[in-house]
Chain A
Amino acid sequence: MTTQKLVMRSMRKNIKMYYLYFFAMIFSISLYFIFSTLQNDPTIVNMIRASMHFSTAFLVAGILLILITIVFTMYATSIFIRRRSQEIGLYQLIGLSKAWVARVLILEHIILGLGALLIGMLVGALLSRLFILLFMNLIGLETMIGLTFSSQAVIQTIAVFTCLIAVTSLQIILTVYRSTLLQLFQANNQNDYFVKRPRIISGILGLAGLSLIGFGYYVSTMIVDHADLLLFLMLLVLASTILGTFLVFHTTISWILYVFRKKQNGNLGLYNSLSVAPLMHRMKGHANSLTLITVLSAMTITMISLSYSLYYSTENDVRLEMPFDFAVENMQEEASIISSKLEEEQIEFEHFQLDAIRFYGAWVEQESNVDNRHRAFMLFSAEQMAQAGLDVETPQYGEAIYHNTRTSIEGMEISFPKYVQYASNDEVNRLIVSSFRLENVMNYRFHGEQLLVADETFHKMRESIQESEHSEYLTFDVFHLLDTEKSDAASDIFLTNVDSDQYITDFYSAYEGSRQTYGLLIFIAGILGFVFILSTGSILYFKQMTEAEQEKKHYRTLRQLGFQVNDIMKGIIRKQLFVYLIPLGIGLIHAAFALNVGSVLIVASMLTPIIISMAAYIVIYLMFTVVTIRYYRSIVTNAL
């Protein structure tokens, strides 16, 4: 038999084992292809040129994608070589050289890889248009783009693929040359191990694992308040939670299971025999991969939730900063031009004039060392705001409400009531600021901290504040569009009619800007997250597949002893829930704490986007559990 024939035959025989690996490879390749097609798309290339954010994001995502694909492929390769170690040993036993074996394995891999490359690029080419449309939709661009087949993307993908083949070939050569015949024959026959009775030290280590995670969580809650130590604290949190997670998988879980098992005193029962016992045996060997999976899951969930939250709350966040679509300060002439132009274009709108006072004063702080310099304040009348359509609370006479969207980040002390001191005609030159609202009452481009008072207070203060270089009376012209479909045209009218030197922007332009940024972010996070979850799910599945093969003999024995497939499956499902849900659960809790830290970035509530992202992750992840359980069922059914 020639080498080629042997290769083809063994591939046909192993097709069942390979097919998920094959699909996973096709998937990664097509995602990478889509990614590089996007990277080279003329529309996007223009966008990237315009923004540093975009080009950095694409670069980082590309590198991460390649890294994950390589790590995943190496992982899968090692599992598959191990599963075939007996076959490899057999070839060597009948006198074939190691070089021959390595050559055959590499040949198989290249054939498989080329197939995956071809199909992957084909699928990628077909889907890339869909992805570009999705991307354009996400960032709110409506330019139509034709299907451009990017040869640059092909070259890039082939380069990455060559890298992949080189790495796995090296891995195959190393494995074949390093392992002895004896190791090869025993690799699948790891039945000679037994659980070591844990000593006190493992109890201590088990507790240490839990405490490290707890410590990491505790420190993470302090990050927000100690922004100056940000990097150090973040590294501390990462290190202690990752180490803690590892210890939990390595020791804590087996220790808990051991205690549980000891309590059963030999009467373990079928279900526990199929879940607790094998888990205990394999937990230590699986600690590395389960830690990796947990950390990857936590990362993916955090990344997706955070970017989705940013994207989801874009409109809300921008609206909190810019309550009016258009606003100008002391520019009545421009305002009237704008309104006549808007009328010309038959765009319906509302126009209001708002009075305000800008004065210079200072926060009265309890502690004297706090920076107490004078700053600008803008005083608005709550009744006027309400007339202009804002939903505001009217403070009591003599009191003010402080409106700001940035306080939480800048670390200002938020304990109210506080006082603002200012120069005035009468003696009472302190204004009580009774409370704080996390929203602006005037678009953020205008200078001064925003205070809202009742109309009566407003007029009284207007009389009392000295008109001087320290204060001025202002008139704001604010516009609300009633017809948001023409917002683009309206936005143009507005921007062309105000002095561009003043950096005035409108709600729609600001919204489009952040939508593009966050749209890109969620798109890249989505692609990466997809590849991450696919890798983690596949790794778990491969591992369970191998385990199922190794335990086939157990299932045969159990069937012979008269246990029905369904009884056995109940035990196996219990085990699978452990294997899949423990990393998922710990990953979710990790992510929750990470998101708690990340929540300072976003003004609006993140609850909805976080729940949606987590639910999506859980659903995709559990699909792997279902596939695994189905694989086990076929093994058990055919065991007898």
Chain B
Amino acid sequence: MKNKKTPKTVLIAEGLRKSYGLKGNAQQVLKGIDLRVIEGEFVGIMGPSGSGKTTLLNTLATIDRSTDGQIFIKEHEISKMKDNQLSSIRRKHLGFIFQDYNLLDTLTVKENILLPISLTKISKNQAETEFHAIAEILDIKELANKYPAEISGGEKQRTSAARALIHSPSIVFADEPTGALDSKAASNLLENLHEINQERQVTIVMVTHDPLASSYCKRVIFLKDGRIFSELYRGEKTRESFFKDILDMQAVLGGGD
């Protein structure tokens, strides 16, 4: 399909379908999703359990393959790429924050953060500067030489966020990043993400079931039964009133999760 993208678009999904299981007995999880994310957006994806939000994220993030439809990340059409090409797209263009952090427990905080740029031809000094800039924002400079087992959950998630940002990706995908955090650590992290989104113009796509978390977004997409049910834009609203809108929408959707 020909598409005249504005230069600011970083992610396009068209007619995205995904089904599991064999033909005849297949279960459709995504039933045709169209989505466009422009540079600097902070998009939340919400929906009840089984609505397909994690599947959507995994498919967009090239970790899972779609059954049908097209996905463009920048100019790259990824749905027909080979595994190795996908790896290279992930390494160059994408960043990931997971619910359970996925830090390598044999590496220190700093080693974990610098891992994504380890195969690029980046000078030691440059890596050092990048690390300091990001660690400053996320307030984890003091933790540089600690192991994951020695730090708290919130610190782990901020480390994970730093790792997702170190190589200046086009999009950061976050899968329930606050899912395992207490409320203070969660709002801490969300503040950080918000700040990074605002100041560094980093595009973030976040799956969450927490209305508070999605109230930090600029736009929230609601999924139901594998289709986009509705969208909410924050616009000029305060975070509190956006939060109320999200709660109302969830009530309409039913199944608060």
What is A's interface to B at a CB cutoff of 8 Å? 191-195, 265-270, 273, 277-278, 280-281, 553-554, 556-564, 567, 640
Q: How far is the CA of A278 from the CA of B111 in the complex (A)?
A: 13
Which residues of A have CB within 8 Å of B107?
268, 273, 277
Which residues of A have CB within 8 Å of B227?
none
Is B144 interfacial (CB-CB < 8 Å)? yes
Interface residues of B in 101-146 (CB under 8 A from A): 102-108, 110-111, 113-116, 118-119, 124, 127-128, 131, 144-145
> Does the CB pair B106–A277 fall under 8 Å?
yes
With A273-B111, A562-B94 as known contacts, state yes or no: A194 contacts B150, CB within 8 Å. yes
> Does the CB pair B115–A270 fall under 8 Å?
yes
Is B90 interfacial (CB-CB < 8 Å)? yes
Q: Which residue of A lies closest to B85 (CB)?
A: A564
Which residues of B have CB within 8 Å of A561?
90-91, 96, 115-116, 163
Please indicate which of the listed interface residues B89, B106, B119 has the most CB atoms of chain A within 10 Å of its own CB: B106
> Does the CB pair A560–B102 fall under 8 Å?
yes
Q: How far is the CA of A195 from the CA of B107 in the complex (A)?
A: 9
Which residues of B have CB within 8 Å of A191?
105, 149
Measured as residues with beta carbon below 8 angstroms from the partner, the interface class of chain B is 35 or more
> Does the CB pair B118–A268 fall under 8 Å?
yes
> Does the CB pair A273–B104 fall under 8 Å?
yes
> Does the CB pair A194–B91 fall under 8 Å?
no
What is B's interface to A at a CB cutoff of 8 Å? 63, 83-84, 87-92, 94, 96, 98, 102-108, 110-111, 113-116, 118-119, 124, 127-128, 131, 144-145, 147-150, 163
Q: Which residue of A lies closest to B173 (CB)?
A: A560
> Does the CB pair A192–B111 fall under 8 Å?
no
Partner of A266, one of B111, B147, B163: B111
Which residues of B have CB within 8 Å of A564?
83-84, 87-88
Which residues of A have CB within 8 Å of B84?
564
> Does the CB pair A562–B144 fall under 8 Å?
no
Q: Which residue of B lies closest to A194 (CB)?
A: B147
Q: How far is the CA of A281 from the CA of B119 in the complex (A)?
A: 23
> Does the CB pair B89–A281 fall under 8 Å?
no
Q: How far is the CA of A553 from the CA of B105 in the complex (A)?
A: 10
Which residues of B have CB within 8 Å of A553?
102
> Does the CB pair B111–A557 fall under 8 Å?
no
User: What is the count of residue pairs linking A and B with beta-carbon distances less than 8 angstroms?
Assistant: 91
Q: How far is the CA of A280 from the CA of B108 in the complex (A)?
A: 12
Please indicate which of the listed interface residues A270, A562, A567 has the most CB atoms of chain B within 10 Å of its own CB: A562
> Does the CB pair A266–B150 fall under 8 Å?
no
Q: How far is the CA of A619 from the CA of B119 in the complex (A)?
A: 33
Q: How far is the CA of A281 from the CA of B104 in the complex (A)?
A: 12
Q: How far is the CA of A195 from the CA of B108 in the complex (A)?
A: 10
> Does the CB pair A563–B119 fall under 8 Å?
yes
Which residues of A have CB within 8 Å of B114?
266-268
Which residues of A have CB within 8 Å of B98?
557, 560
Least Cβ–Cβ distance between B116 and chain A, in angstroms:
6
Q: Which residue of B lies closest to A553 (CB)?
A: B102
Q: How far is the CA of A191 from the CA of B216 in the complex (A)?
A: 33
Partner of B106, one of A267, A281, A556, A560: A281
Q: How far is the CA of A553 from the CA of B106 in the complex (A)?
A: 12
Which residues of A have CB within 8 Å of B106?
273, 277-278, 280-281, 554
- Which secondary structure characterizes the binding site on chain B? helix
> Does the CB pair B118–A640 fall under 8 Å?
no
Least Cβ–Cβ distance between A638 and chain B, in angstroms:
12
Q: How far is the CA of A265 from the CA of B124 in the complex (A)?
A: 10
Least Cβ–Cβ distance between B135 and chain A, in angstroms:
10
Further pairs besides A280-B106, A562-B94: 17, Cβ < 8 Å: A191-B149, A194-B149, A266-B108, A266-B110, A266-B144, A267-B118, A267-B124, A269-B119, A273-B115, A273-B118, A553-B102, A554-B106, A557-B102, A560-B63, A560-B102, A561-B90, A562-B91
Which residues of B have CB within 8 Å of A562?
87-92, 94, 116
With A267-B124, A267-B127, A562-B92 as known contacts, state yes or no: A192 contacts B149, CB within 8 Å. yes
Least Cβ–Cβ distance between B157 and chain A, in angstroms:
14
Which residues of A have CB within 8 Å of B115?
268, 270, 273, 558, 561
Q: How far is the CA of A278 from the CA of B124 in the complex (A)?
A: 23
Which residues of B have CB within 8 Å of A267?
110-111, 114, 118, 124, 127-128
> Does the CB pair B104–A270 fall under 8 Å?
no
Which residues of A have CB within 8 Å of B88?
562, 564
> Does the CB pair B63–A640 fall under 8 Å?
yes
Q: How far is the CA of A554 from the CA of B105 in the complex (A)?
A: 8
Which residues of B have CB within 8 Å of A268?
107, 111, 114-115, 118
Q: How far is the CA of A132 from the CA of B104 in the complex (A)?
A: 54
Q: Which residue of B lies closest to A264 (CB)?
A: B111
Q: How far is the CA of A561 from the CA of B114 in the complex (A)?
A: 12
Which residues of B have CB within 8 Å of A278?
106
21 A-B pairs within 8 Å (CB atoms) are namely A192-B105, A195-B147, A265-B128, A266-B108, A266-B114, A266-B131, A267-B114, A267-B124, A267-B128, A268-B107, A268-B111, A268-B114, A273-B106, A273-B111, A278-B106, A280-B106, A561-B115, A562-B87, A562-B88, A563-B87, A567-B119
With A194-B149, A266-B145, A277-B107 as known contacts, state yes or no: A563 contacts B91, CB within 8 Å. yes
Which residues of A have CB within 8 Å of B110?
265-267
- Ranked 8 nearest A-B pairs via Cβ: A562-B91, A562-B90, A266-B110, A194-B147, A277-B106, A557-B102, A269-B118, A270-B118
Q: How far is the CA of A273 from the CA of B145 in the complex (A)?
A: 14
Q: Which residue of B lies closest to A197 (CB)?
A: B145
Q: Which residue of A lies closest to B114 (CB)?
A: A267
> Does the CB pair B149–A277 fall under 8 Å?
no
Q: Which residue of B lies closest to A271 (CB)?
A: B118
> Does the CB pair A277–B111 fall under 8 Å?
yes
Q: How far is the CA of A297 from the CA of B115 in the complex (A)?
A: 37
Least Cβ–Cβ distance between B41 and chain A, in angstroms:
22
Q: How far is the CA of A270 from the CA of B163 in the complex (A)?
A: 14
Which residues of B have CB within 8 Å of A273?
104, 106-107, 111, 115, 118
Which residues of A have CB within 8 Å of B145?
266
Q: Which residue of B lies closest to A273 (CB)?
A: B107
Q: How far is the CA of A277 from the CA of B103 in the complex (A)?
A: 13
> Does the CB pair A270–B119 fall under 8 Å?
yes
Q: How far is the CA of A561 from the CA of B169 in the complex (A)?
A: 11
